[in-house]
Structure 1
Amino acid sequence: MILYYFRKYWWVVSAAIIALAFVIPYQVVLVLLFTQIIAVNLVSFRIRRYLKPERNVKSLRNLLVLEFKDLLESYGVSCDFPPRGDYSSVDLIADIFGEKTVFSIREGNDEIHNSEVQSLAASLPKHGAKHGVILVDGLLPIEAKRLAESYGLQFKRYQKYKEEVQERLSSNPNVCSVCGRLIDQNQKELCWKNSELLGGKTYCHEHFKEVIDKSKAETT
C-alpha cells in the first residue's frame, strides 16, 4: 500500500524536492529528482507484476480489492474476481456464510457514480448474489449513498466494514476453534458426530485430524 501511494502522489514528493533548492545546491536537487523518477518507475513495475494476469484479475481499480480479498480468505471465505469481459462495477465476489455478496470498492477520493451503483445492483442476479456492498475508503457521497440504499445495497466506509466483517467472522460458530477459518456444513456435521472426542468444539479438516489423532494416541 505504501508503494501504491508513493506512485500515486509522486508530484508531492517532487514539489518537496524542488523546495529544497532554496537550502541545498541545485545539482543535488537534480540528482534527487532523477532518483525519484527511477524509483517511481520501479514501483510501477512492481505493482504491475503484483497484478499480473495469472491472478485472474479482471481489472483492479486499487490494491484495497486485494487487501480485502486476502482478509476474507484468511477466514476461509471463498472469493473470486469477476470474469474477464465483465464490465460491471463489481470488483470482488465472495461467499460469506453461504450467501454470495458482490463488492464494489473505491480508494481514497475515487468517486463512485450513479451508473456504477445501478450496475452493481443489476449484477446481483447475474452472479447469484444476495447482497451488494459498496465500500469507500474516503467520504461517502450522499447522493450515491441514497441511491444505493434505494436499491437495497450497503454503502459503507471500507475500514469500518472490514472491522465489522472480522468481528462477525471471528465470532461465528461455524469456524475452526484453532485457526478461525470457516468450515462447511459437512465438516460441521462431522464435528458433531465426534463431539465427545472434540469436547463439543468445531475444527477445520486439518485441525480435526490433529485432534482426533491425538485423542486416539492418548487412549491407546
Structure 2
Amino acid sequence: MGLKILWPLWLLIFATVLIKILFHLWELRRLSKSGIKEIDQMDGLTFEKYLQSLFRNLGYRVERTAYIGDYGADLIVSKDGIRTVVQAKRYSGKVNIKAIQEVVASKAKYHCTEAMVVTNSYFTKPAIELAKANGVKLWDRDKLVNALLSIKKDTGLNDEINEIAVSEEQLADMDDNNACAICGKSVSEKVKQYCLSNPQRFGGKIYCYEHQKNK
C-alpha cells in the first residue's frame, strides 16, 4: 500500500533528474557549437580580433584602436548612428570594477555615446553595479554565446576565426621574446604584437614605446 502511494513521488524525482541531465547535455552541445571553448584558449589580442569579426558579422562598422595608449578601448563599433566604445576582456576569472572605470573614461576620448565591456567570463557584483549606474552595457559569457549562436550558421565567422588563429601563431613563431631590441625593456604582449604585425616599419623586431618613435 505504501509503495502505491509513493510511486508518483518516485516518478516525479526520476522525471526531474532526467530533465536536468537532458538540459546539461543540451547546454554542453550548445556551448560546443558556439566556439566558446576556443575563445577560452585565446590571448587578449586574438580575442580583440575575434570580436572585430563578430561585430562586423552582426552588422556593425568596426574600428580597431591603437595598440598603444588605447585608454581602455579596444574597438569602436557603430550601428544605426550609435557609436559605442568596446573593451574586450578575455579572462579566466571574473572581470572587476576597473574595466568599467576604464571604458567609461574612454567613451569621451573616442567621442562615443555608449560603452560596452565584452568578456568570455562573468562580472563581479561591484562591476555590474557600476556599469548599471553609468549605462555601460555588459556582455558576459552567456550573452557572448547567444551572439555567436545567432550568426554562426549564416556567416563565415568560423573561417575568419581560423585565419586569425593562424596569423597569431605565425606572429608568435617570429619572436617569443618580449624585450625591446634597443634597451631590453620588457614590453606588453599588445606592444609586441603591434611591432610584429608591422614588419616593414620594425623589421620583425620588438621596440618599446619610446624607441618606436625613432622608427
TM-score band w.r.t. shorter chain: 0.3 to 0.5
Higher normalized contact order (CA 8 Å, seq sep 6+, divided by chain length)? 2
Larger radius of gyration: 1
Q: Normalising by the residue count of structure 2, what TM-score does the alignment of the two structures yield?
A: 0.45
